[in-house]
Amino acid sequence: MKEYESSMASLTRRMNIEFNRILLVQCGSPLIVGGPLIVYIASLATAPYWTWNSGGTVIVAMLSATPIINSLAFLMFSSKNSTILRRRVIRFLNLFISSKSQIIMIKPAEPRTVGS
């Protein structure tokens, strides 16, 4: 990659950096999620001294978080997606926080009769 850097466009380099960040987070997410699993296995090995009774429930919930982390990484670390996401969050917050009402009331149309 370094040897071809001079011939690459700046947009291509920026996209490569963003893509590498996304891949790094996606590779690390199973390690982050796997932390409680290691603690739970250690608590089973030391059962008479220390146990983690609700560990199985926490681990199942954490294991289902891996796809969520991967999709959030794609949304947050891609510059185009992050600007779109930021705009939508701001619009959503303005809808509920803003003092201005953005709801438009439309009068229903009266039914027409044939021949009039």
pLDDT tens per residue across span 34-65: 887 887 888 778 777 776 677 778 777 878 88
Which H or E run contains 19? helix 10-45
pLDDT computed for residue 66 by the predictor? 82
More confident residue, 88 or 102: 88
Q: Could you read off the pLDDT of 3-28 as tens digits, one per residue?
A: 777 777 888 888 888 888 888 888 88
Residue 110 covered by a domain: no
Domain tally for the chain?
1
Within a domain: residue 3? no
Say if 111 falls within a structural domain.
no
For all residues of the chain together, what is the average pLDDT?
Answer: 80
Q: What is the pLDDT of residue 115?
A: 67
| pLDDT at res. 102 | 58
Q: What is the widest separation between alpha-carbon atoms in the chain?
A: 89
25, 28, 29, 34: CA torsion to nearest 10: -170
Domain boundaries, position 80: 12-95
Question: Per the domain annotation, does 101 fall within a domain?
Answer: no
Is-contact 29 69, C-beta < 8 A? yes
Q: How confident is the model at residue 116 (pLDDT cuts 50, 70, 90)?
A: low
Whether residue 77 contacts residue 25, with contact meaning beta carbons closer than 8 Å, is answered with yes
